[in-house]
Chains A and B, each alone.
Chain A
């Protein structure tokens, strides 16, 4: 009797038919959702590359913008302006974020580090335009003018939470055996952190900073009323400056066909920059993996 059941094909049908149906339905659903996500991304990318690369020319990198109505000109000032803003932002955000992260991961304990982690996460969730208003009140109003300085400070503040938390995470991922190994050789805590733990986490920390930089490079809102914008070159740190995201915003809402074209090109350049930064960051990470193996 039991033998007969075991030999019947039905007893062996596995998975049972209703499970097969559920399996097919769920697989189709998840696959469709994945396809939807990827296709949106590919559509945006493709559209940007198509429009942007077509509108790109040598002039775009070398010339200043021309007055509305004329065609031609470029965005040399916005490219340089973005670079200056990012430089200033890194000068503010990276040291504060990295050193704060080192403190949190290696030295902080108790309620203070809990409070720092918590407020950092809150700061990370603050809308970027609010940070723009904050810097506007802090720097622009007292100075009575927009400036590269204000824009850089706004982007720098945006970099702090991510730099801090990524440094914190990468340091805490370093195995504790390395900390004990350093201490067991008579190194002080600080020596161990500087000579063993930070070098061990260095590639990760650098990767975090690169991705962070790529993120703030595209920020527009905090720049609207800090760095403002500029049709011409901005020398020094004290005057308003053009930047790629703000130029894209201004050009895209203008009625001129040629400006739309240039906005596409600017978007393409910005995207390429972020893309390159990402690739460099990934190469750094994979470089670390290969050295630790070989």
Chain B
């Protein structure tokens, strides 16, 4: 069935962004590649988790990765900062460029400083709010003791958390709500001024209001930081992504500008998934 008009669900998805931000134009104008992935394969022991990925992730854009559970999108995300190396018996073949340099030539610590990551479950350290933000600056020796306070303040402001925590910087980070904890984790990742921020389903443990605050934050950050986000929520992907990659069973089915993919998906599988016919 060749349709010239997209199904209703797709139009709804395409409108989601306008409704949320009043900005109908996603930033899908060309930019420098942030990651260039060529013929990448990923193995957990004998299990072939990702098959022959080829894609270019643009810099200073928000890229959403969607797909059903177990399709490999989180695995792909964890390859980009080489966090997969902490799991035994994992192996990557193929080529990944970070900017123009080989990803695997980086020292993991340097790479992870430049490619920050926020996880599904808010995971503040059992330290004060201040020390959580200062952690990355301290372990990387990124600033002097006298600059530390200003940097932490700046970082909390950048993550739009300052007004909520300015009176309790020395309290435990666990005193914050789940949504605040997750924004604290984003602020903590921003503190080391990364080029890229990887978000692994950052809103899946949060309520809608906390989710919308995180989306606002992502929207504000996209001009200063490349954001790559895994999400299970199609509407969320439609609201905030400039580009979208659709994964299915370890393969990249489609990668395109969000407004094109959500209105005129070129692959039948993509259309089936985003209109909710499976997954």
Question: A residues touching B (Cβ–Cβ < 8 Å)?
Answer: 109, 175, 177-188, 191, 195-196, 199-200, 291-294
Cross-chain contact of B125 among A183, A186, A200 (Cβ < 8 A) = A200
Complex Cα spacing A221 to B58, Å: 71
* B121 partner residues in chain A, CB cutoff 8 A: 177
- Given known A-B contacts A186-B109, A199-B127, A292-B126, A179 and B136 have beta carbons under 8 A apart: no
| One of B111-119, B210-218, B221-229 contacting the partner | B111-119
Does B93 belong to the interface (CB within 8 Å)? no
| Chain A residue at smallest Cβ distance from B78 | A180
Q: Is B174 an interface residue (CB 8 A)?
A: yes
The answer on a CB contact under 8 Å between A185 and B88 is no
Q: Is the CB of B109 within 8 A of A187?
A: yes
Cβ A186 vs Cβ B185 within 8 A: no
Q: Which of B85-117 contact A (CB under 8 A)?
A: 86, 88, 108-110, 112-114, 116-117
A-B contact count (CB 8 A): 80
Q: Are B123 and A199 in contact (CB under 8 A)?
A: no
Choose among B116, B139, B191 the residue that contacts A187 (Cβ–Cβ < 8 A): B139
**Given A186-B139, A191-B139, A292-B174: A181 and B126 interface contact (C-beta under 8 Å):** no
B-chain residues with CB within 8 Å of residue A186 when the two chains form the complex: 109-110, 112-114, 136, 139-140, 192
User: In the complex, are the beta carbons of A294 and B112 less than 8 A apart?
Assistant: no
A183 CB contacts on chain B under 8 angstroms: 83, 86, 108, 112
Say whether, besides A175-B123, A178-B125, A292-B126, A184 and B81 are in contact (CB < 8 Å). yes
Question: Which residue from A180, A187, A196 sits with its C-beta under 8 Å from B86?
Answer: A180
B88 lies within 8 A of A178 (CB): no
Question: Which 5 interchain pairs have the tightest Cβ spacing?
Answer: A186-B113, A177-B123, A185-B136, A184-B117, A187-B139
Assess whether A181 is in contact with B123, with CB atoms less than 8 Å apart. Answer: yes
| Nearest chain B residue, comparing its CB with the CB of A189 | B86
Task: Contact check, A188 vs B109: say whether CB atoms are below 8 A apart.
Answer: yes
> Which residues in B have some Cβ–Cβ distance to A below 8 Å?
81, 83, 86, 88, 108-110, 112-114, 116-119, 121, 123-127, 135-136, 138-140, 171-172, 174-175, 185, 188-189, 191-192
Shortest CB distance B135–A (Å): 6
Q: A177 vs B83: C-alpha distance in the bound complex, in angstroms?
A: 12
CA distance in complex: A294, B128 (Å): 11
Q: Is the CB of A185 within 8 A of B189?
A: yes
Cα(A180)–Cα(B87), bound, Å: 11
B135 contacts A184, CB within 8 Å?
no
Q: Is the beta-carbon distance between A180 and B172 smaller than 8 angstroms?
A: no
A189 CB to closest chain B CB, in angstroms?
A: 8
Across the interface, which residues of B come within 8 angstroms of A179, CB to CB? Answer: 86
Which of the residues A185, A191, A293 comes within 8 Å of B192, measured between beta carbons? Answer: A185
Residues of A within 8 A of B175 (CB): 293-294
A284 to B137, CA, bound (A): 30
A181, A187, A191: which contacts B119 (Cβ < 8 A)?
A: A181
What chain A residues lie within 8 Å of B139 (beta carbons)?
Answer: 182, 185-187, 191, 195
CA A181 – CA B125 in complex, angstroms?
8
Name the distance in Å between A173's Cβ and chain B's nearest Cβ: 13
- A184 contacts B189, CB within 8 Å? yes
- The docked-state distance in angstroms from the alpha carbon of A175 to that of B122 is 11
**With A185-B192, A186-B192 in contact, do A199 and B83 touch (Cβ < 8 Å)?**
no
- With A185-B136, A186-B136, A292-B174 in contact, is A178–B113 under 8 Å at CB? no
Partner of A291 from B108, B109, B136, B172 at Cβ < 8 Å: B172
Q: How far is the CA of A175 from the CA of B126 in the complex (A)?
A: 11
- Report the separation of the CA atoms of residues A182 and B114 in the bound assembly, to the nearest whole angstrom: 14
Q: How far is the CB of B206 from chain A (nearest CB, A)?
A: 15
Q: A187-B139, A191-B139 are in contact. Are A181 and B174 (CB under 8 A)?
A: no
Q: What are 21 A-B pairs at a CB distance below 8 A?
A: A175-B123, A178-B125, A181-B123, A182-B135, A184-B81, A184-B83, A184-B117, A185-B136, A185-B188, A186-B140, A187-B136, A195-B135, A195-B138, A199-B126, A199-B127, A200-B126, A291-B172, A293-B175, A294-B171, A294-B172, A294-B175
Having A109-B88, A183-B83, A183-B112, one finds 14 other A-B pairs with CB under 8 Å, namely A177-B119, A177-B123, A178-B125, A183-B86, A184-B116, A185-B136, A185-B191, A186-B139, A191-B139, A195-B135, A196-B125, A200-B126, A292-B172, A293-B175
